[in-house]
């Protein structure tokens, strides 16, 4: 019996695709519900209009008043990559627009927690700002906004997280997910929301004659799309058409070498080729290094790296981020191993009806900056929603939740909070990821109620991992040219996944490389075409010595070594099959 559950994407009838579009791309795009050429238009002119935001006029007038009157603007960002890129984008762009008093503040997650809290407002007030702009946070900061208003500080909230039943009493709020907001793309990252605000602000200042009066050039906001692309990829938001435009345009600028020195340095440390950059390179090489600052130390280090204009300074900061990322990896490995020891019964017998549907984990020694990564890895392994907790400095429990298909995790947390008021002191997030804080002794009650709520919403069929693929890849398309074709056909990302295929191959050779990776030599069954393949973090123990055929889920790729480019298959899943 096959252990791999593979679901091939259903291709809808092809729409109005461009003439001459490769038939393989027609099939792949159709499997992602693309209906025609309009959804593949990645020119900036195809972006949604900023006028579609319901509150854009109020937000722009508030911000324009502060810019033109040279009032003190303080940006308060989140401590992840989206928050860092949003903060850097705001500081860089507002200064180019003539604002001379722009500063930022990133809360230290270990001292202040998430968002615009009253404690952060008290810290911000020492800088005497006239306006606080929240980026990638603020929509749930009711008490923080109230504290700012009491201190005589105006507040402009820019956020993309889902709002609760009550909104903060800010002077203006910009969020595409506000109830009734007509902006078509609900999947903007925080950096995307701020980018739209800055587009609208530039238009307003142009109409006022501000740039001409000040004798400053009107800023080209497209120059900052490298930062927007990084934040969008890092935050794992859905790659709808609008987000694909932002990422595509940002990638084009990075490939041309027109990116901030900090991104260039982080890519160099990740050994990525600028000219062949993909969205996944931002996600796997840059985002973790940037996020490491917020997870282990202070995200201001990441912001300063993105703000650095001198390559030498950017490289110095990027190296510090790289070192933090190495530390983060070591901590994560230890925590994940500890979690898997606890979860061994679930791994060995996942069908046991006594096992929880919603998995909750807590260890007094765990690092609160890394629990989100552990929750994500365990979720992928068990195919169940996971909440991992660490002890905060105030003795409360800081949790990070990751969900599975068909379960809106923020709705689950809201239901738990309703069933037992006071158990969750704070929470917020998206459908697939969320954060929360529990009372110091609340873990057992939360784990019980969370599991019950998940059971109410999911069935046994939802707890089995299913891999979606684009079906067979004909031997004639297993070529270097196809790899280049697929790379150019992106950007690929969350909700618009990189093409992958499945098939059965003859297994000719196998060996372990690097101590933990499985190198294979395969043969295509019909043509005998020989193919190199690699399975990362797999020792081949599930392949019996007598196995001569394997079924794999894979992505064609290029292995570049010492100037030589060779085709290889990146294998995402593998299982032996009986000889035919």
Is the pLDDT at 14 greater than 70? The verdict is: no
Tokens 């080729």 sit at which residue? 273
Enumerate residues 6+ apart whose C-beta is below 8 A from 30.
Answer: 11, 12, 13, 14, 15
Q: What strands, in cross-sheet order, belong to the sheet with 359-362?
A: 359-362, 386-391, 397-402, 433-438, 424-429
* 132, 540, 572 from 532: Cα distances, Å: 55, 15, 14
Contact indicator for 445, 420 with CB cutoff of 8 Å: yes
SS3 annotation, 309-350: CCHHHHHHHHHHHHHHHHHHHHHHHHHHHHHHHHCHHHHHCC
DSSP of 436-454: EEE-TT-HHHHHHHHHHHH
The highest-level CATH class for domain 50-322 is alpha beta
Q: Indicate the pLDDT class of residue 546, thresholds 50, 70 and 90.
A: low
Token pair for 354: 């006594």
Backbone angles phi and psi of 453, in degrees to 5: -70, -40
When the candidates are 3.40.250.10, 3.40.1390.10, 2.40.50.460, 3.20.20.300, the CATH number that belongs to 6-10+467-576 is 2.40.50.460
Handedness of CA 552, 553, 558, 561 (dihedral sign): negative
d(CA 136, CA 417): 23
Calculate what percentage of the chain has a pLDDT beyond 90. Answer: 80
Tens-place pLDDT, residues 84-100: 999 999 999 999 999 99
The mean per-residue pLDDT over the stretch 419-429 comes to: 90
pLDDT of residue 208: 96
pLDDT of residue 3: 61
- Of 302, 344, 343, 340, nearest to 321 by C-alpha is 302
Contact indicator for 556, 473 with CB cutoff of 8 Å: yes
- Which of 59-68, 141-150, 350-359, 524-533 has the weakest average pLDDT? 350-359
Sorted by where each begins, the domain ranges of the chain are 6-10+467-576, 50-322, 343-463
pLDDT of residue 352: 74
The highest-level CATH class for domain 343-463 is alpha beta
Tens-place pLDDT, residues 180-233: 999 999 999 999 999 999 999 999 999 999 999 999 999 999 999 999 999 999
Tens-place pLDDT, residues 316-350: 999 999 999 999 999 999 999 999 998 887 776 76
Three-class secondary structure of residue 117 per DSSP: coil
Q: Indicate the pLDDT class of residue 157, thresholds 50, 70 and 90.
A: very high
- Of 240, 238, 250, nearest to 277 by C-alpha is 250
């Amino acid at each position: 019996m096959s252990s791999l559950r593979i679901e091939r994407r259903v291709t809808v009838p092809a729409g109005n695709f461009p003439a001459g579009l490769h038939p393989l791309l027609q099939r792949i795009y159709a499997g992602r519900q693309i209906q025609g050429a309009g959804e593949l238009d990645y020119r900036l002119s195809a972006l949604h209009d900023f006028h579609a935001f319901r509150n854009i006029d109020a937000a722009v007038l508030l911000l324009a008043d502060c810019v033109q009157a040279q009032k003190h603007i303080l940006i308060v960002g989140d401590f992840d990559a989206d928050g860092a890129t949003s903060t850097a984008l705001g500081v860089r762009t507002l200064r180019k627009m003539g604002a001379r008093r722009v500063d930022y503040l990133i809360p230290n997650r270990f001292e202040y927690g998430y968002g615009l809290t009253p404690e952060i407002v008290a810290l911000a007030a020492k800088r005497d700002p006239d306006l606080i702009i929240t980026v990638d946070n603020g929509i749930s900061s009711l008490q923080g906004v109230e504290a700012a208003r009491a201190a005589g500080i105006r507040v402009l909230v820019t956020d993309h997280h889902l709002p609760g039943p009550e909104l903060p009493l800010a002077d203006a709020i910009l969020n595409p997910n506000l109830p009734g907001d007509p902006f078509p793309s609900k999947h903007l990252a925080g950096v995307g929301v701020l980018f739209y605000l800055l587009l609208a602000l530039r238009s307003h200042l142009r109409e006022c004659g501000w740039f001409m009066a000040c004798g400053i050039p009107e800023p080209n906001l497209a120059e900052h799309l490298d930062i927007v692309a990084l934040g969008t990829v890092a935050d794992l938001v859905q790659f709808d058409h609008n987000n694909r435009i932002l990422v595509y345009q940002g990638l084009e600028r990075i490939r041309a070498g027109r990116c901030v020195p900090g991104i260039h340095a982080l890519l160099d440390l990740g050994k990525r080729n600028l000219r062949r950059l993909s969205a996944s390179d931002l996600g796997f090489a840059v985002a973790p290094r940037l996020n490491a600052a917020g997870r282990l130390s202070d995200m201001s280090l990441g912001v300063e790296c993105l703000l650095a204009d001198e390559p030498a300074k950017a490289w110095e900061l990027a190296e510090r981020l790289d070192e933090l990322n190495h530390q983060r990896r070591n901590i994560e490995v230890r925590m994940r191993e500890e979690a898997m020891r606890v979860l061994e019964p679930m791994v060995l017998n996942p069908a046991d009806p006594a096992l929880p549907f919603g998995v909750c984990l807590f260890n007094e020694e765990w690092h609160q900056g890394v629990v989100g990564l552990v929750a994500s890895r365990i979720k992928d392994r068990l195919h169940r929603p996971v909440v991992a907790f660490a002890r905060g400095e105030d003795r409360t429990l800081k949790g990070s939740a990751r969900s599975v298909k068909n379960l809106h995790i923020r709705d689950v947390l809201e239901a738990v909070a309703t069933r037992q008021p006071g158990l969750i002191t704070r929470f917020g997030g998206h459908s697939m990821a969320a954060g929360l804080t529990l009372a110091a002794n609340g873990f057992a009650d939360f784990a019980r109620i969370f599991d019950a709520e998940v059971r109410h919403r999911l069935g046994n069929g939802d707890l089995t991992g299913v891999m979606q693929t684009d079906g067979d890849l004909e031997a004639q398309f297993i070529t270097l040219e196809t790899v280049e074709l697929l790379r150019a056909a992106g950007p690929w990302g969350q909700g618009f996944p990189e093409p992958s295929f499945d098939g059965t191959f003859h297994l000719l050779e196998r060996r372990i490389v690097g101590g933990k990776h499985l190198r294979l030599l395969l043969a295509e069954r019909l043509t005998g075409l020989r193919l190199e393949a690699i399975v990362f973090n797999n020792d081949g123990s599930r392949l019996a010595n007598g196995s001569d055929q394997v079924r794999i889920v894979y992505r064609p790729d290029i292995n570049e070594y010492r100037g030589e480019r060779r085709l290889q298959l990146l294998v995402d899943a593998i299982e032996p099959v009986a000889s035919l």
